[in-house]
Amino acid sequence: MTTATPATPGLRIDQLDFRHVMSHLPTGVVAVTGVDPTSARPAGLIVGSFASLSLEPPLVAFSIARTSGSWPKVRRGGRFSASVLAEGQDAVCRSLSRKNGDKFADVPWHPSPDGAPRVNGAVAWIDCEPEQELDGGDHLIVIARVLRMSTGPGEPLVFHKGRLGGYRETIAA
Ligand SMILES: Cc1cc2nc3c(=O)[nH]c(=O)nc-3n(C[C@H](O)[C@H](O)[C@H](O)COP(=O)(O)O)c2cc1C
């Protein structure tokens, strides 16, 4: 089905329409995790907005809802890790995208050289340092410098049209 949504300046874009249309863009599922310096405990959240931004200098960018409780903790901790979740890590995604509770209780992780949690079994790890936060409406656009990277085996977890799964389940099906 195709639908036409007017995008004329001044016309209101309905939030549900916006979500529906954007859900047609498949994304990866990335755990952005660090250590809250106040509690010395892991903190983090899931983002689908993670993208490479610049090669020289090496930068990544992602958007964070201004309502996020976890990002300020990760930000205060300084260096953090981004783990690109693998197919089958749906439960990790659900834990780390919860608003409350001990998000890391059932999430196996190992520390990066900076001490930030890297999720075990992810397909890639990108260790970062926050550089800038820009205004992005009801979100912040976070720009971070890449410090080091590595990859693991397996296929990525994908989010598409509200479904979480492997590439075959969510896109090719
Ligand atoms: C697949 C997926 C993608 C998400 N992408 C983002 C995102 O790009 N930015 C964001 O702020 N929240 C995103 N979220 C929601 C956050 O993970 C969630 O709101 C957050 O964990 C709330 O916890 P907090 O208040 O402790 O930060 C996403 C959730 C899921 C399941």
> Which pTM does this prediction carry?
0.94
State the pLDDT confidence band at 10, using cuts at 50, 70 and 90: low
Q: How many domains does the chain have?
A: 1
With respect to residue 17, please indicate whether it lies within any of the assigned structural domains. Answer: no
Distance 130 CA to ligand 1 centre (A): 18
23-80 pLDDT, tens digit each: 999 999 999 999 999 999 999 999 999 999 999 999 999 999 999 999 999 999 999 9
Which residues form the domain of 115? 28-172
Site to probe by mutation for ligand 1, drawn from 33, 47, 49, 133 as the one with most ligand atoms within 8 Å of Cβ, is 47
Task: Give a yes or no: residue 12 inside a domain.
Answer: no
Select from 145, 150, 147 the least CA-distant residue to 120.
Answer: 150
pLDDT at residue 47 in the model: 98
Q: What percent of the chain clears pLDDT 90, i.e. is strictly above it?
A: 88
Would you say 71 and 29 are in contact if contact means Cβ atoms under 8 Å apart? Answer: no
- The CATH number covering residue 126 comes to 2.30.110.10
Q: What is the mean pLDDT of residues 77-94?
A: 98
In a domain, 97, yes or no: yes
Cα angle: 79, vertex 80, 82; to 5 degrees? 145
Two tokens at 8? 């004329």
**Closest ligand 1 atom to Cα of 71:** 27
